[in-house]
Amino acid sequence: MTNKIQLTITRPDDWHVHLRDNEALIHTVPDAARYFGRSIVMPNLNPPVMNTKQAMAYRNRILESRPAGSLWQPMMVLYLTDNTKPEEISQAKASGQIFACKYYPAGATTNSDSGVTKLSNIASVLSQMEKESIPLLLHGEVNDHNVDIFDREAVFIDQQLQKLIHNFPELNIVLEHISSKESAQFVAERPHGLAATITPQHLLYNRNHMLAGGIKPHYYCLPILKRDVHQKALIAAATSGDPRFFLGTDSAPHTTCSKENACGCAGCYSNHAAIEFYAEAFELAGALDKLEGFASHHGPDFYGLPRNIDTITLKKMPWKNPTKLPFMKNTITPLGAGEMRQWQVT
Amino acid at 47: P
231 binds ligand DOR (CB under 6 A): no
Could you tell me the sign of the dihedral formed by the alpha carbons of 318, 323, 325, 326, in that order? negative
User: Whose Cβ is closer to Zn ion: residue 205's or residue 343's?
Assistant: 205
C-alpha 81 chain-centroid distance: 20
266 to 305: interface string for ligand DOR, x by CB under 6 A? xx--------------------------------------
User: Whose Cβ is closer to ligand DOR: residue 135's or residue 293's?
Assistant: 135
Residue 345 · residue 281 · CB < 8 Å: no
Using CA atoms, how far apart are residues 155 and 142, in angstroms rounded to an integer? 7
Dmax of the chain from CA atoms? 53
Which partner, ligand DOR, Zn ion, none, binds residue 44 by CB below 5 to 8 Å per kind? ligand DOR
- Closest by alpha carbon to 196, among 207, 205, 183, 209? 183
- Closest by alpha carbon to 155, among 180, 173, 119? 180
User: Whose Cβ is closer to Zn ion: residue 277's or residue 343's?
Assistant: 277
* Position closest to Zn ion via CB: 250
Q: What is the DSSP letter of 290?
A: G
Using CA atoms, how far apart are residues 214 and 344, in angstroms rounded to an integer? 31
332 binds ligand DOR (CB under 6 A): no
Using CA atoms, how far apart are residues 96 and 340, in angstroms rounded to an integer? 41
Which partner, Zn ion, ligand DOR, none, binds residue 342 by CB below 5 to 8 Å per kind? none
* Residue of 250, 289, 301, 310 marked catalytic: 250
User: Where in 63-102 is the site for ligand DOR (CB under 6 A)?
Assistant: none
- Among 10, 28, 44, 183, the residue binding ligand DOR under the rule CB under 6 A is 44
Q: Is 250 a catalytic residue?
A: yes
31 binds Zn ion (CB under 5 A): no
Using CA atoms, how far apart are residues 173 and 192, in angstroms rounded to an integer? 10
Which residue stretch of 112-120, 245-253, 268-276, 333-341 sits at the interface with Zn ion (rule: CB under 5 A)?
Answer: 245-253
- Among 116, 178, 203, 221, the residue binding ligand DOR under the rule CB under 6 A is 221
Q: What is the DSSP letter of 37?
A: S
List residues binding ligand DOR (CB under 6 A): 18, 44, 109-110, 139, 221-222, 252, 266-267
Enumerate the active-site residues: 250
